[in-house]
Amino acid sequence: MIAFELSAEQKMIELRLRRLAREIHTISLRIDTQPPGPIDPAYLDILSREGLNSLFIPKEYGGRRLDFLTLALVIDELAYGCAGFASIYAATLHAVSPLLIDGSHEQKSAYLPMLLEPGGKVAACCISEAKGGSDTSYFSTTASLEGDHYILSGAKGPVLNAANASFYVVWASTSSTTHRGGINTFIVPAESAGISISEHHDKPGLRCAPTADVLFNNVKVPVSNLIGLPGSGYHLLMQSLDWGRALFSAICVGLARAAFDHTASFAKQRMIRDRAIIHNQGISFSLADHSTNICAARLLVWRACRMMDLDLHYTKEASMAKLFAARTAWETANDGMLILGKQAHTSQNLMAKFQRDAQVLRILEGTDHIQKMIISSQI
């Protein structure tokens, strides 16, 4: 059976978070203009107050985990308020994904409850490296086994949530060869000796989601903090990236919806010679296209997440969702800037933020070109 109706619980979650999104809108403009730094305390307070982390943590570890489709709805609504805030949230979920996929009961018991502590807790996923680009088959960050612990050395960046993370999930090579079987995944507590954080990046977009480089200088990591079997890191990374693409696609949809609503509201109120500009065909047809694309993008996200819930192969579908949703967000925000005209270019406003955030979302979790490579490889 194919159905597009949300359940009563999903509708309640959507309504609750839609109210929250309006609160986040106001906060996001203030944060967007600030110098780069750690996560703003207001966002951490919302994470804690609303119990958002509990939505992806299983019940046996203190949470009330939702299915992937409902999580996509949550992220969509958070992104309607601020794509940066939704990215902070999704980055923690991204870091937790290897634990949920292949972590031991002891690892989950030790680290998942940390994210439910008061004060708004986050985690960070350490994948990217300066020289690696989109090549995830080898890492210059190394982990050398010495007795009952590994020695972790290297640098990762950019890393979302870097300065605020309670723990890091790090991919590193345990072999001097380029063989994928030498890649492993580690949980690294933030208080471990030898970890340092660079200055925060002064980014044009997603300024509300702080990023920095994380440096590991001979950090001791217990053998018990290896996630999965030795040599399973590459396959675990591929699964985690698929999760990330599907759920970051929901951020793109939420941003596109916010940009569309902002543009449509302006077009209905902006009068030229006693006539609202929404009645001009050039504007109304543009809005019709964006409305159609947003619905299509949302359905692509829902399809990918539904396949995740059914434990089907969804690599192609996740990349399709990411490719189309990111492009839709960018095109919707771009046209919004044109329609708002002078208002969008002469003052601090949400539309300019939407446009800058949308551009970054075409890079996070793999650029458009990467998504096309993945999709074509699955055909």
Q: Which of 145-149, 175-179, 249-253 has the lowest mean pLDDT?
A: 175-179
Last residue of a domain, one of 199, 232, 265: 232
Residue 16 has a CB neighbour count (10 Å cut-off) of: 12
Q: Which of 232, 256, 282 is the last residue of a domain?
A: 232
Q: Which of 139, 44, 43 is nearest to 82 (CA)?
A: 43
Residues 6+ apart with CB under 8 A from 51: 116
* Residue 297 shares a structural domain with residue 244: yes
User: Is there a single domain that holds both residue 250 and residue 347?
Assistant: yes
CA separation for the pair 93, 63 (Å, rounded): 13
Instruction: Look over the chain and give the mean of its residue pLDDT values, rounded to a whole number.
Output: 93
Among 242, 130, 127, CA closest to 183: 127
CATH number of the domain encompassing residue 158? 2.40.110.10
pLDDT at 130: 82
Query: Do you find a cis peptide bond into 98, omega within 30 degrees of 0?
Result: no
CATH no. for residue 238?
1.20.140.10
Both tokens assigned to 290: 């964006």
pTM of the model: 0.95
In this structure, are residues 287 and 278 in contact, taking their beta carbons and an 8 Å threshold? yes
Q: What is the pLDDT of residue 132?
A: 67
Residue 135: is its pLDDT beyond 90?
no
In terms of domains, do 151 and 254 share one? no
Measured in degrees and rounded to the nearest 5, phi and psi for residue 164 equal -110, -5
Instruction: Give the 3-state secondary structure of residue 256.
Output: helix
Note whether 258 and 362 are same-domain residues: yes
- Whether 109 maps to a domain, the answer reads yes
pLDDT at residue 33 tops 70: yes
Q: What pLDDT is stored for residue 133 in this prediction?
A: 64
Same domain, 239 and 355: yes
Residue-wise pLDDT tens digits, 277-293: 899 999 999 999 999 99
The pLDDT, as a whole number, for residue 342 is: 83
pLDDT for residue 1 is more than 60: no
1 found inside a domain: no
- Lowest-pLDDT range of 85-89, 118-122, 364-368: 364-368
Cα gap 143→153, rounded to integer Å: 7
Angle, CA 319 vertex, CA 315 and CA 324 arms, to 5°: 150
More confident residue, 366 or 56: 56
Q: How far is CA 11 from CA 6, 8, 23, 75, 298, in A?
A: 6, 5, 19, 14, 15
Residues with Cβ within 8 Å of residue 29, at least 6 apart in sequence: 348, 349, 350, 353
Comparing 179 with 259, the larger pLDDT belongs to: 259
Is there a domain that residue 284 lies in? Answer: yes
**261 and 284 share one domain:** yes
Beta strands at 271-272 and 275-276: parallel, antiparallel or unpaired: antiparallel
- Residue 337 in any domain: the answer is yes
Query: Can you give the residue range of the structural domain that contains 37?
Result: 8-121
Same domain, 72 and 146: no
Query: Is there a contact between 102 and 228 (Cβ–Cβ < 8 Å)?
Result: yes
- Distance from CA of residue 219 to its chain's centroid? 27
Report d(CA 315, CA 323) in Å as an integer: 12
Task: Identify the band that residue 343 occupies on the pLDDT scale cut at 50, 70 and 90.
Answer: confident
Tell me, yes or no, whether 3 lies in a domain: no
Q: Please say if the pLDDT value at position 178 is more than 70.
A: no
- Residue 253 falls within a domain, yes or no? yes
- Which amino acid makes up residue 150? Y
239 and 221 inside one domain: no
List the CATH number of the domain containing 38: 1.10.540.10
**In the chain, how many domains are there?**
3
Shared domain for 112 and 171, answered yes or no, is: no
Indicate whether 199 and 265 sit together in one domain: no
Q: Evaluate whether 17 touches 74 at the Cβ level (below 8 Å).
A: yes
Contact 122, 188 (CB under 8 A): no
Same domain for 272 and 373, yes or no, is: yes
pLDDT of residue 3: 73
Residue 136 pLDDT greater than 80, yes or no: no
Which of the listed residues 172, 204, 232 is the one where a domain comes to its end?
A: 232
Q: How confident is the model at residue 328 (pLDDT cuts 50, 70, 90)?
A: very high
The answer to whether residues 361 and 323 belong to one domain is yes
pLDDT band at 125 (very low <50, low <70, confident <90, very high): very high
For 365, which DSSP code? T
